[in-house]
C-alpha cells in the first residue's frame, strides 16, 4: 500500500497536443443530443498485459498523432453566444489546446488489482477534473497512463458525455491503438454536426424524455450509488440463452438484460416474497446503424436512443426476454427522429430554465453495447496485445440505476455486465443466487463479500 492506503499515485501531469495544427477559427457545435447529456460523464479503463511497445513515451507520441484527426477532442468549450449571436449552446473552439495526460503508478500487479480493487478505486485509473469556472481553460478530455508493478499498463479516458457517447469514446482509444501500431485507423472519426438537425417538417415527440425532464430530485433514490462488473463466460451465456428460451445464435443482450432486470426488481422490493408484476425498463441503444442512411461507426458525438419497454416480471425469464426482443424489433427510425426533434426544441436558449435533466434515471436503464467488438480490438501491439479487460462507466447515474451489457475479453458469446445501482441493491445483486448460478467473475464490487 502507498501512503494513506492508496495504491495509485499520480506522478506527473502534462498536456498532449495534436501533431498537425488545426485550421485557425475552426469550431464544432455540440448537437441537441449532446446537450441532453450535460449531467453525465464517461470513464473508460483499458487494461493491458506487459508488452514491448507499451512504452509511455511511445504511447504519448502515437496519441499526438491520432489527435490530429480529432480537432474537437483537443479544443475547448465556449458558449455559442460568444461566437456572435448564437442560441447559447456549447461549441468547441478547435484551437489545439490539447488533452490533459496524467502519468501514474499502481503499487500492485495487474492480476492483484483485478482481484481486489473496488468500484471507486478503479476510477482512480481514469483521471477527471470537473469543469473549471472558466470552461475555456478546462480540458474536456483526460487520459491517464498507469503502470503496474509487473509493467502492465492501464489506459484511462474520461470526458463529458456531451462530447461523446460510449461508442465514440471507445473508438477514440481504438484509433489511438491503430496509430500506435502504424496501422490504418479502421474507424476514423466522422465530425458532422448537422447529422441530427431536425427534418424540414419536424415532429417533436418523446413521452419518455418528457417524463425524465419533469422528474424532480425527490423522485430519485437517495443514498450512494455503487458499481460492480460481472464477467460471464461463453458457456455461461449460452446456458442463460437456453434458460431464456432463445436460440444459441441470438444476441445475448436479451437474455442478460432480462436476467438483471428481474433480479434487480427482486432486490429492490422491500418484501422479499412479494410477487413481481408489470414493470417498465428504459433501453438505450446505439442508433448509428439503425437509420435508413446509416452513419459511420466513427460518428463523433452522441447517437444513442432511449426507449421504454414493459413486461410482466412475474412471468419468468423466458417471457421477459421475449418481450425485450419484441420491443427491440418494433423500434422505428421515426421514433428516433421524434426524440431528436424533441430535444432540439429544448436546446439551450430556446426557453429559460431548461437545464440538462437526468438521462440515466430515475427509472432503471439498460444500455446495449454487446454488438460492438471495438473495445477489445484496441490492441497496441502488432502481434496480439488485446486488452485483458475493459471497463466502461457512466457517472451521474441516479434513481434505480444503470445496467450496461458489453463484450468481454473471451470471444464468442462471452459478455460482461456493468451495474451502477443503489448501494444496498448492488450488494444484493452481487450475491444473488439466480445470477451466481451462471458463475460470473465479479469484479470492482464495493462489497468485499461479493469479491471473495
The whole-number average pLDDT for the span 12-41 is 93
Q: Residues with Cβ < 8 Å from 217, sequence gap 6 or more?
A: none
Q: Which three cell numbers stand for residue 415?
A: 459478455
In this structure, are residues 358 and 398 in contact, taking their beta carbons and an 8 Å threshold?
yes
Which pLDDT value is given to residue 447?
63
Beta bridge partners of 10: 104
Which pLDDT value is given to residue 87?
53
Which pLDDT value is given to residue 134?
83
3-state helix, strand and coil shares in percent for the chain, rounded to the nearest 5 = 35, 25, 45
The whole-number average pLDDT for the span 18-22 is 91
Can you give the three-state secondary structure of 200-238, one letter per residue? CCCCCCCHHHHHHHHCCHHHCCCCCEEEEEEEECHHHHH
Q: How far apart are CA 81 and CA 86, in angstroms?
A: 4
Domain annotation for the chain: domains and CATH numbers: 3-196 (3.30.559.10), 207-451 (3.30.559.10)
Which pLDDT value is given to residue 79?
86
Q: Identify which of 316, 406, 414 has the alpha carbon closest to the alpha carbon of residue 366.
A: 406
Q: Is the pLDDT of residue 349 over 70?
A: no
Q: Is the pLDDT of residue 45 over 50?
A: yes
Q: Give the model confidence (pLDDT) of 130-155 as tens digits.
A: 988 788 889 999 999 999 999 999 99
Q: Which three cell numbers stand for residue 317?
A: 425469464
The whole-number average pLDDT for the span 337-343 is 95
In this structure, are residues 444 and 119 in contact, taking their beta carbons and an 8 Å threshold?
yes
Q: Give the model confidence (pLDDT) of 268-314 as tens digits.
A: 988 877 889 999 999 999 999 999 999 999 999 999 999 999 999 99
Q: Residues with Cβ < 8 Å from 369, sequence gap 6 or more?
A: 166, 167, 286, 392, 404, 405, 406, 407
The whole-number average pLDDT for the span 387-398 is 96
Count CB neighbours of 213 within 10 A: 18
Q: How confident is the model at residue 385 (pLDDT cuts 50, 70, 90)?
A: confident
Which pLDDT value is given to residue 218?
42
pTM to 2 decimal places: 0.94
Cα dihedral across residues 17, 22, 25, 27: positive or negative: negative
Q: Is the pLDDT of residue 452 over 80?
A: no
Cα dihedral across residues 209, 215, 219, 224: positive or negative: positive
- Return the percentage of the chain with pLDDT > 70, whole number: 93
Q: Identify which of 131, 143, 20 has the alpha carbon closest to the alpha carbon of residue 77.
A: 131
Beta bridge partners of 76: 93
Which pLDDT value is given to residue 372?
78
Tally the C-alpha atoms within 13 A of residue 82's C-alpha that lie toward its C-beta. Answer: 12
Q: Give the model confidence (pLDDT) of 155-195 as tens digits.
A: 999 999 999 999 999 999 999 999 999 999 999 999 998 99
Q: Is the pLDDT of residue 84 over 60?
A: no
Q: How far apart are CA 160 and CA 168, in angstroms?
A: 12
Amino acid at each position: 500500500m502507498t501512503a494513506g492506503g492508496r495504491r495509485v499515485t499520480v506522478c506527473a501531469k502534462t498536456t498532449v497536443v495534436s501533431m498537425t495544427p488545426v485550421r485557425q477559427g475552426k469550431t464544432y457545435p455540440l448537437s441537441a443530443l449532446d446537450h441532453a447529456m450535460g449531467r453525465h460523464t464517461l470513464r473508460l479503463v483499458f487494461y493491458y498485459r506487459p508488452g514491448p511497445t507499451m512504452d509511455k513515451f511511445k504511447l504519448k507520441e502515437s496519441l499526438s498523432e491520432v489527435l490530429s484527426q480529432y480537432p474537437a477532442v483537443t479544443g475547448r468549450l465556449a458558449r455559442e453566444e460568444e461566437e456572435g449571436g448564437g442560441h447559447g449552446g456549447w461549441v468547441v473552439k478547435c484551437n489545439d489546446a490539447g488533452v490533459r495526460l496524467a502519468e501514474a503508478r499502481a503499487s500492485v500487479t495487474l492480476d492483484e488489482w483485478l482481484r481486489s480493487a473496488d468500484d471507486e478505486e478503479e476510477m482512480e485509473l481514469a483521471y477527471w477534473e470537473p469543469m473549471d469556472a472558466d470552461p475555456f481553460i478546462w480540458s474536456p478530455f483526460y487520459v491517464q497512463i498507469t503502470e503496474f508493478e509487473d509493467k502492465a499498463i492501464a489506459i484511462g479516458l474520461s470526458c463529458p458525455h456531451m462530447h461523446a457517447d460510449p461508442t465514440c469514446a471507445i473508438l477514440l482509444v481504438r484509433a489511438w491503438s491503430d496509430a500506435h501500431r502504424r496501422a490504418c485507423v479502421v474507424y476514423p472519426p466522422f465530425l458532422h454536426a448537422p447529422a441530427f438537425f431536425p427534418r424540414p417538417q419536424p415532429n417533436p415527440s418523446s413521452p419518455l424524455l418528457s417524463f425524465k425532464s419533469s422528474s424532480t430530485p425527490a423522485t430519485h433514490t437517495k443514498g450512494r450509488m455503487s458499481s460492480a462488473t460481472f464477467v460471464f463466460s461463453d458457456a455461461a451465456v449460452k446456458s442463460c440463452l437456453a434458460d431464456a428460451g432463445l436460440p444459441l445464435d441470438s444476441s445475448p443482450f436479451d437474455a442478460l438484460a432480462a436476467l438483471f432486470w428481474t433480479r434487480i426488481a427482486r432486490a429492490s422490493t422491500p418484501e422479499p416474497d412479494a410477487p413481481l408484476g408489470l414493470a417498465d425498463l428504459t433501453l438505450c441503444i446505439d442508433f448509428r446503424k439503425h437509420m435508413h442512411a446509416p452513419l459511420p461507426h466513427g460518428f463523433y458525438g452522441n447517437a444513442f436512443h432511449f426507449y421504454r419497454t414493459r413486461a410482466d416480471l412475474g412471468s419468468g425469464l423466458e417471457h421477459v426476454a421475449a418481450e425485450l426482443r419484441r420491443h427491440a424489433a418494433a423500434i422505428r427510425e421515426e421514433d428516433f427522429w421524434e426524440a431528436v426533434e424533441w430535444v432540439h426544441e429544448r436546446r439551450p436558449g430556446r426557453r429559460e430554465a431548461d437545464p440538462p435533466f437526468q438521462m440515466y434515471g430515475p427509472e432503471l436503464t439498460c444500455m446495449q453495447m454487446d454488438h460492438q467488438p471495438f473495445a477489445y480490438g484496441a490492441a497496441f501491439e502488432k502481434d496480439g496485445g488485446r486488452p485483458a479487460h475493459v471497463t466502461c462507466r457512466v457517472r451521474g447515474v441516479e434513481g434505480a440505476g444503470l445496467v450496461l451489457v458489453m463484450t468481454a475479453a473471451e470471444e464468442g458469446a462471452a459478455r460482461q455486465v456493468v451495474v451502477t445501482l443503489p448501494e444496498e441493491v448492488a450488494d444484493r445483486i452481487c450475491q444473488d443466487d439466480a445470477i451466481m448460478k451462471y458463475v460470473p467473475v465479479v469484479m470492482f464490487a464495493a462489497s468485499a463479500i461479493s469479491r471473495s
